[in-house]
Amino acid sequence: KISVELDPIHYSNDRKINVIEYLNFDADFFKGKIVIIFDDVVTRGSTIAQFSKKLNEIGAYVLCAISVGRTVH
């Protein structure tokens, strides 16, 4: 569940934003599940890393992460 709307990280000047702080995870739902993370655009990979870490902490197994694009500077 998203508790706050955020601008996409690649549009933000705040490079230290922790997206996970703005989300609520249903640990009972994810516990024991195999998860694939989808992200539209990867900028630095930190969001995927944050999601993977959080999902593992609540008992999910992250199989892989997939993105459709990458930000190039």
| Whole-number pLDDT of residue 40 | 84
Q: Which of 49, 41, 55 is CA-nearest to residue 18?
A: 49
Residue 2 has a pLDDT of 44
User: Which DSSP state fits 63?
Assistant: E
Stretch (H or E) spanning 54: helix 46-57
Q: What is the pTM of this model?
A: 0.73
Copy the structure tokens of residue 23: 């989300």
Looking at residue 9, its pLDDT comes to 56
7-46 residue pLDDT tens:
665 555 555 667 787 788 889 999 999 999 998 888 878 8
Task: Look at 19 and 59; give whichever has higher pLDDT.
Answer: 59
